[in-house]
Amino acid sequence: MSKLTVDIPDDVAAALHLPPGAAEQEIRKELAVTLYARQLLPLGKARQLARLSRRDFEALLGERQVPRDYTDADLDADLDYAFSDAEAE
């Protein structure tokens, strides 16, 4: 596994209006949303970078008004999944 590290200068980190423990997670989310919006990272990988569930990442995209690439095949897969859960109950 390769690892990419980004060094943030201390004065920039101090200027963040975030609690110290929340900075890394917030930066991960910002980076993931930006890379997804610019079509540099697919949804699954962006979600993984953000360390969020699919549902939470899609909610974040909605909050940021980032359009989602949603194909007919995605809709079919979601409908199959939804109806298979309903039949199991």
Write out pLDDT tens, residues 25-35: 999 999 999 99
- What pLDDT, on a 0 to 100 scale, did the predictor assign at position 60? 97
- What pLDDT, on a 0 to 100 scale, did the predictor assign at position 36? 94
- What pLDDT, on a 0 to 100 scale, did the predictor assign at position 27? 94
d(CA 64, CA 27): 15
Give this prediction's pTM.
0.73
Q: Rg for the chain (alpha carbons), in Å?
A: 17
| Crossing angle between the packed helical segments 54-63 and 43-50, to the nearest 10 degrees | 100
Residue 14, CA distances (Å) to 9, 20, 30, 57 in order: 9, 9, 17, 26
Which positions of the chain have pLDDT values less than 70?
85-89
* Closest by Cα among 40, 29, 49 to 69: 40
